[in-house]
């Protein structure tokens, strides 16, 4: 799709040239055409240190529903007309949209505005709206948090009351119902999908309520109990058996002593008493957790790989991903997971992960050893079947997608914690609505 944004800087307004390629942190929503007709809006709210920012994309159908915006051609907005449109929109937002910070009403200012130049080949997708449905305005509405009237230092709560819900022109219901506005909210480094409705038009965000750490699955601690080469009970059996056998020899009853020694040593070997721990000799690494614990570790790591993409910034996603993935795999895992979340049918829009459902887990080759650096290590291979439910928010609408995967992961306990060191996806398929298929441990050749 060809999508060029054009704009101007009006003398009476603090507007910047709104060329899409130059816009900071541009949402992928703004560069995509939705194949539905009618009014559309894309809304992304960001709570920043000094302002609340509304990144908005609306087509001309939605614009004209908001009020009268005189222009020479009803099917377009010329670059020279952007300043007057911005002034009218700013007045509409000041009168109708309510944004508050800790109960203090904030004043809007449109700081960016532009109009796209869409591909004419997409026009047949808009038989009702025509060019008015295809042409889109893009604007940024800024609500300053620190002003002379409202010198807010920190913000505990931000509320948005959104009043605009045009009718769904494609609905067969009479009367046509109002649209539901699917949007995104970014605050304190996290993205959260939200839905605004005419019946519940307000959304409240509170500082400190959620964090990326809170969304991450908890990992069991790395085991520290050492496994001796010769356990204490084994040495106890040897010592007791030797003493009894020696006693029988001294008493000139070697056969009786030998039988008694065997009996006592066998009983110790069966009961494995924990007394005399100092009798243990050598070290064979640390104790390997059972399969249930290893499965819990594998599930938590895989879940956290996807939860890392809840972060609003790429650097934060990398940092969160590094808590589950080690070494050269980090860069590859970032690229692969991000690519799996991109929906090509939606012109490259990125899906947000709603849920990760880990199904069957088969633990293979769980061992413990001491590394060359002297660190005790537990290593395993886990074959996992899992499902990822995602949602694409695209021009005010949501599209839910589910995909099932099967893969093999090499996991180890490093000094910094449990980490995935290698990952191979064996199969993947779109399954919307289908359950996760369990793994058949003997089906290697079919995966």
Q: Is residue 389 part of a domain?
A: yes
Q: Is residue 221 part of a domain?
A: no
407 within a domain of the structure (yes/no): yes
260 lies in the same domain as 295: no
Domain count, the chain: 3
Domain-embedded: residue 341? yes
Average pLDDT over residues 46-58: 93
The yes-or-no verdict on residue 94 having pLDDT over 90 is: yes
Tokens of 128: 């009702």
pLDDT at 416 (0 to 100): 87
Residue 263, strand partner residues:
none
Q: For residue 185, what is the enclosing H or E element?
A: strand 181-187
Q: Which pLDDT belongs to residue 214?
A: 84
Question: How confident is the model at residue 13, as a pLDDT?
Answer: 37
Across 32-36, 358-362, 395-399, least confident range: 32-36
Quick one: tokens of 254? 């070697």
Q: Confirm whether 226 is domain-assigned.
A: no
Asked if 315 and 409 sit in the same domain, the reply is yes
Same domain, yes or no: 384 and 263: no
Asked if residue 396 and residue 422 are part of one domain, the reply reads yes
Mean pLDDT for the stretch of residues 250-269: 81
**Per-residue confidence (pLDDT) for residue 320, from 0 to 100:** 92
Same domain for 361 and 275, yes or no, is: no
The pLDDT confidence band at residue 18, using thresholds 50, 70 and 90, is very low
Inform me whether the pLDDT recorded for 294 exceeds 80: yes
What angle, rounded to 10 degrees, do the helices at 314-321 and 291-307 form? Answer: 170
Q: Cβ(30)–Cβ(137) under 8 Å? A: no
**pLDDT confidence band for 24 (50 / 70 / 90):** very low
- In this prediction, what percent of the chain has a pLDDT beyond 70? 78
Alpha-carbon distance 184 to 55, whole Å? 10
Q: Which residue has the higher pLDDT, 348 or 301?
A: 301
Parent domain of 311? 286-446
Q: With 80 as the cut, is the pLDDT of residue 30 above it? A: no
Question: What is the mean pLDDT of the segment spanning 351-368?
Answer: 88
Range of 33-47, 67-81, 146-160, 273-287 with top mean pLDDT: 67-81
| Together in a domain, 391 and 316 | yes
pLDDT at 337 over 80: yes
- pLDDT surpassing 70 at residue 283: no
Do 45 and 75 fall within a single domain?
yes
Structure confidence at residue 249 (pLDDT) = 78
Q: Is the pLDDT confidence value at 318 over 50?
A: yes
Mean pLDDT of the chain: 80
For helices 329-341 and 314-321, what crossing angle results, to 10°?
Answer: 120
Residue 220 binned pLDDT confidence (cut-offs 50, 70, 90) = confident
Pairing of strands 202-206, 352-370: unpaired
Mean pLDDT for the stretch of residues 402-417: 92
Provide, rounded to the nearest whole percent, the portion of the chain with pLDDT above 90: 39
Task: Write down the pLDDT at residue 376.
Answer: 78
pLDDT for residue 210: 79
Residue 216 is assigned to a structural domain of this protein: no
Domain co-membership, 96 together with 61:
yes
pLDDT at 37: 82
d(CA 44, CA 55): 5
Q: Are residues 270 and 300 in the same domain?
A: no
Query: Does residue 17 lie within any of the structural domains?
Result: yes
DSSP 9-69: --TTS--EE--GGGSTT--GGGG---S--S--EEEEEEE-SSEEEEEEEEEHHHHHHHS--
Quick one: pLDDT at residue 276? 66
Q: Cα dihedral angle (401, 433, 439, 307), rounded to 10 degrees?
A: 40
Alpha carbon separation from 91 to 71, 306, 311, 328 (Å, rounded): 17, 41, 33, 52
Claim to verify: residue 320 and residue 421 sit in the same structural domain? yes
pLDDT tens readout for residues 113-126: 999 888 888 888 88
The H or E element spanning position 132 is helix 131-134
pLDDT at residue 230 is higher than 80: no
Is 313 part of any domain?
Answer: yes
pTM of the model: 0.68
> Which pLDDT score is estimated for 4?
37
pLDDT per residue over 116-166, tens digit each? 888 888 888 888 889 998 899 999 999 998 765 556 567 889 999 999 999
Q: What is the pLDDT of residue 74?
A: 92
What pLDDT shows up at residue 343? 60
Q: Considering 210, 240, 268, which residue would you say is the last residue of a domain?
A: 210
Range 194-199 average pLDDT: 92
110 and 252 together in one domain = no
**What pLDDT does 31 receive?**
36
The per-residue pLDDT for 222 is: 78
Partners of residue 214 on adjacent β-strands: none
Q: Are residues 27 and 69 both part of a single domain?
A: yes
Q: 351 or 148, which is more confident?
A: 351
């Amino acid at each position: 799709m060809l999508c060029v944004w054009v704009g101007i800087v009006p003398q009476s307004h603090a507007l910047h040239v709104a060329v899409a390629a130059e816009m900071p942190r541009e949402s992928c929503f703004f560069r995509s055409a939705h194949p539905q007709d009618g009014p559309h809006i894309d809304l992304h709210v960001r709570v920043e240190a000094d302002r609340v920012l509304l990144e908005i994309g609306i087509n001309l159908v939605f614009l004209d529903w908001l009020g009268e915006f005189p222009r020479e051609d009803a099917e377009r907005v010329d670059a020279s007309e952007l300043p007057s449109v911005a002034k009218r929109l700013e007045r509409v937002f000041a009168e109708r949209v309510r944004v508050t910070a800790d109960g203090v009403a904030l004043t809007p200012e449109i700081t960016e505005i532009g109009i796209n130049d869409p591909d004419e080949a997409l026009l047949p997708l808009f038989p009702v709206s025509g060019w008015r449905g295809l042409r889109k305005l893009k604007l940024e509405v800024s609500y300053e948090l620190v002003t002379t009237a409202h010198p807010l230092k920190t913000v505990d709560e931000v509320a948005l009351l959104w009043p605009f819900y045009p009718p769904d022109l494609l609905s067969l219901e009479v009367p046509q119902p109002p649209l539901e506005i699917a949007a995104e909210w970014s605050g304190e480094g996290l993205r959260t999908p939200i839905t605004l409705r005419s019946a519940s038009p307000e959304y409240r965000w509170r500082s400190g309520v959620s964090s990326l750490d809170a969304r991450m699955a908890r990992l069991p601690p790395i085991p520290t109990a050492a496994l001796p080469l010769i356990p204490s009970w084994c040495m106890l059996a040897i010592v007791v058996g030797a003493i009894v056998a020696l006693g029988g020899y001294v008493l000139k009853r070697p056969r009786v002593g030998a039988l008694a020694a065997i009996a006592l040593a066998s009983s110790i070997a069966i009961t494995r008493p924990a007394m005399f721990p100092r009798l243990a000799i050598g070290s064979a690494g640390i104790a390997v957790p059972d399969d249930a614990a290893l499965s819990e570790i594998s599930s938590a790591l895989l879940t956290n790989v996807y939860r890392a993409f809840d972060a609003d910034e790429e650097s934060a996603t990398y940092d969160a991903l590094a808590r589950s993935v080690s070494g050269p795999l980090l860069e590859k895992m970032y690229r692969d997971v991000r690519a799996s979340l991109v929906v090509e049918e939606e012109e490259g829009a990125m899906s947000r992960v709603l849920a990760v459902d880990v199904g069957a887990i088969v633990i293979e080759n769980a061992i413990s050893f001491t590394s060359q650096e002297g660190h005790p290590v537990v290593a395993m291979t886990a074959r996992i079947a899992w499902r990822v439910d995602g949602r694409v928010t695209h021009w005010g609408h949501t599209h839910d997608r589910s995909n099932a995967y099967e893969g093999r992961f090499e996991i180890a306990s490093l000094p910094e914690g449990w980490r995935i060191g290698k990952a191979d996806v064996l199969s993947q398929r779109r399954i919307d609505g289908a359950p996760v298929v369990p793994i058949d441990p003997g089906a290697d050749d079919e995966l």
